[in-house]
Structure 1
Amino acid sequence: MQRLNLVWRKPWRYLAIALMAAAALYGAWAELTRTRGSQAVTFVPAKQECAIAGPLRYCVNRAVGGTNGDFVYHLHGRGLDEQIWNDDTYFTAMLQARWQETRVLPPTVISISYGPTWLLTPKGRKPDSGLLDDLMIRMPEIEARVGAPRRRMLMGESMGGLNVLIAGLSYPARFTKVAALCPGVYADSPFDSLGTLWASMGRTGASPKIIAGIWLLARQYVGDADEWQRISPLSLIERAGPGTPALYLSCGLYDAYGNYEGTQRLAEAARRRGVSAEWHPLYGGHCAVDVDSLTEFLAK
């Protein structure tokens, strides 16, 4: 019996040794192949002053070399915050570097945040709705503190890209330009059937996991399909007129959020309505940015 036990123990011992060796090799490979750092942008960071107004956090960013009198309200993407403007690994650093290279006086940038994840909506059925109303109240308060702008503009990426379109198209008289980068614009509604949403993912190449997250975000702030139509950029653009702010729209063809289709449709609809709209289709993934054309749009 003892001999039999030894026979049975040896295979398990060999298996344990093999598993430990595999784990060691995996750990060594992971260490060898891990990313060693991030590509940083060389630039002079803007002078940044931050404050809080109710639920809104914001930072006023002024270039050290001076500004041109315009204000750009920057609405960040998901998971970021109001201090992102001076991050030397983010596209906002590339914008600053480009303005400094060309010696163009840039606008003052006011980065705003209601938290890592948020959606601008009018007050509706959902308890978290109403941030659009709050922002429109807070802007005059901010400008009373930092000064009145020559022109007021909006810029945002991803979640922020959708938010700037909602704000700019809902209150067109308040803004002269809106730059929406890889905005969350969809031809379909989060209140459509599962079959419709599945077909949309097939057309756009959107990640089902990402779309599930967007579905949850939308339903946190939007009560039903009618409320969705109140904020959908593709619905808002249909009532656009001569006073609509100029639009800058860009998106990567292989956007995993599935934003390319909706953003392209928005650009086409804007032009049909006589709205000045720059459409920059890009070969790349989510939030690929054409820095040169964007800096020119915001500063000209």
Structure 2
Amino acid sequence: MTTRARNVISAAIVAGLLLPAAPALAQSDEQQRIRKLEAEVSALQRRVFPGGDGRYFEPEIGGTSQGTTVTAGTPSTTALTDILARLDAMEASLQTLTGQVEVNANTLQGLTTRMAALEQSGAAPTLASAPTPTPTPAASSPSQASTTTANNLTAMTGGASSQPARPAPAASGPSSQRLAAVQAIAKPKTDDAGDDEYSYGFRLWDAGYYPEAQQQLTLFVEQYPDHWRATYGRNLLGRAYLDDGKAREAAPWFLNNYQADRNAARSPDSLLYLAESMIALRDTDRACIALAEFGETYPAVAAGRLQSQYEANRAKVTCTN
């Protein structure tokens, strides 16, 4: 066999070996393209339906030995139905929360109205409440009152001492019916003994037993001068005298409470009741001084919580300024 013949035979054998490789190579490229498409579809599904927990699509795409078959995921209608159901549940929850907010708002409004009524009566509620921080004394602040005005207020008590006197015991003892009525008023017993003493005095005053309330509240302010209720106690003690027709005995308590701490909760009330005491004593000049001091020191209270009482007192006297 010649060299030319051997070369032709060799070329035929090589061609025969290479021909089957072409379809195999083409098939390999198609499989790679299919796997790439599958990966892209899976990524697109995860972006449309975040979570990838299998509720909206099959996490994997399977295939067979005969070829690659894409496994269908959860139908889109099922996913849409689930989303709509979740939206309905969220709307129902929102409606429930809205109703609860309205109920809470109405309840808060009722509590605010009750507190305003109690404050208007000039005494704190007997229910337990959170202690308030100890106010910082500001009796010498020039922005709150001038020294001249403070001296004029001090002169209102007619030279009485800064600490009012204790109530004198009655010449004759109370009747048995009154004793029984007073004993029927229960004294609260809580973990705060000072608050219990004040609350008992408030109950006596509220029931109209003014002499008994005077003794009880005097006991409270003497035993608990630094209690957070002290400003309430001094103010209510002055009211117990004023409501009992003893304006001269009431005035020192109101002045004492105002001068003790002008930022305290019942200091505005005491200054206004001091003006009422002077009006009851027909001392117009000093009543006008107290009213002017009240309007200058507590403009927000004069236009808010105590506005009606302030205007009523101003209408009772004619002040020059």
TM-score, normalised by the number of residues in structure 2: 0.22
Is the strand fraction higher in 1 or 2?
A: 1
Relative contact order, higher structure (CA 8 A, sep 6+): 1
Structure index of larger Rg: 2
Is the helix fraction higher in 1 or 2?
A: 2
